[in-house]
Amino acid sequence: MAADQFGLVTTGQLLAAGFDGAAITLRVAAGRLHRLHRGVYAVGHPAVSREGRWLAAVLACGEGAVLSHRDAAALWALLPPGPGPVHVTVSGQGGRGLRRGIRLHRSRTLAVTAVTRHRGIPVTRPARTIADLRRHLQPPELRRAIRQAEVLGLALGEEAETDRTRSELEWRFLRLCRRHGLPRPEVNVRVGPFLVDFLWRPQRLIIEVDGYRYHRGRQAFEDDRARDLELRRLGHEVVRLTQRQIGEGEEEVVSAMRALVSHSTDA
């Protein structure tokens, strides 16, 4: 039984196999069973593989529990494993109480079709895993997970769609637009020979967000101005926003954006 479960057994499985409470206690005292979580034991020695640690957390959370979030992504080989507690999701308000070393999520939307078993471990399917990660990962890491799923041929459905941002700063600006109800721009699209950060096509308005790391220095300064001049020649208004403006001047940026979009629309 343990060989099929990465060296693990549960109290329920031991009782079903004919052990009673005293027999279990005796084997724990003798070092033949090692308690990992309440009701979950490693057989023979306490060291278990990463997969064993994941399965132990799932078993400890009761019927219907599944590996999820970053740990599900690691099991599917979408991302490297992360530090900290194991993420487990249970449906609705089910599942057992808190366990040390486990981050328990309770979900009212965890459908039967969103879970499966992979390598013997109950886990959220890749599409649900990506959906969960959207609320916890920064855009570059999320895009990396999506790309890896595509490489592996894993079905993602609508979750394969990304916001097309290429940097943390672009993601923050797009989030700012969403939060304040600004018209959604096209993201990282071509205008003439250039790939621009954000484009409001009907208004012919381009916003470029400039992080200091990639836009410092004389050559970058000259290149940016030459680029802006050509975009204006093509009939577009170009506005550049800095990392500090987006991070610390949100009200001013939003006010300016409303005026720019409105002005461009009227024109």
pLDDT value for 160: 63
Pick the residue with more confidence: 214 or 105?
105
Tell me the Ramachandran region of residue 31: left when phi exceeds 0, alpha when psi lies from -120 to 50, beta otherwise: left
Residue 215 exposed, middle or buried by CB count within 10 Å (0-12, 13-18, 19+): middle
pLDDT value for 162: 64
**Least reliable range by pLDDT among 46-55, 122-131, 153-162, 179-188:** 153-162
**pLDDT per position as a tens digit, 80-118:** 998 899 999 998 765 566 678 999 999 988 999 999 999
Fold (topology level) of 168-266: Endonuclease; Chain A (3.40.960)
Task: Please state the domain extents for the chain.
Answer: 1-48, 61-162, 168-266
Q: What are the distances in angstroms from CA 157 to CA 73, 127, 152?
A: 16, 7, 14
> Taking 60 as the threshold, does the pLDDT of residue 125 lie above it?
yes
pLDDT value for 177: 92
Q: Which two tokens stand for residue 151?
A: 């490489």
> What's the rounded mean pLDDT across residues 242-258?
91
pLDDT value for 94: 58
∠ at Cα 114 (38, 73), nearest 5°?
70
∠ at Cα 168 (166, 172), nearest 5°?
110
CA atoms within 13 A on the CB side of 77: 8
Instruction: Please tell me the pTM assigned to this model.
Output: 0.64
Residue 119 exposed, middle or buried by CB count within 10 Å (0-12, 13-18, 19+): exposed
pLDDT band at 265 (very low <50, low <70, confident <90, very high): very low
> Taking 60 as the threshold, does the pLDDT of residue 167 lie above it?
yes
| Contact assessment for residue 183 and residue 200, using Cβ atoms and an 8 Å cutoff | yes
> Taking 70 as the threshold, does the pLDDT of residue 263 lie above it?
no
Q: Which of 125, 119, 122, 103 is nearest to 64 (CA)?
A: 122
> Taking 90 as the threshold, does the pLDDT of residue 134 lie above it?
no
Q: Which of 213, 222, 220, 204 is nearest to 261 (CA)?
A: 204
**pLDDT per position as a tens digit, 105-115:** 999 889 999 99
**pLDDT per position as a tens digit, 181-198:** 999 999 989 999 999 999
- On average, the pLDDT of the chain sits at 89
pLDDT band at 29 (very low <50, low <70, confident <90, very high): very high
Pick the residue with more confidence: 201 or 82?
201
| Contact assessment for residue 102 and residue 81, using Cβ atoms and an 8 Å cutoff | no
> What's the rounded mean pLDDT across residues 246-257?
91
> Taking 70 as the threshold, does the pLDDT of residue 267 lie above it?
no
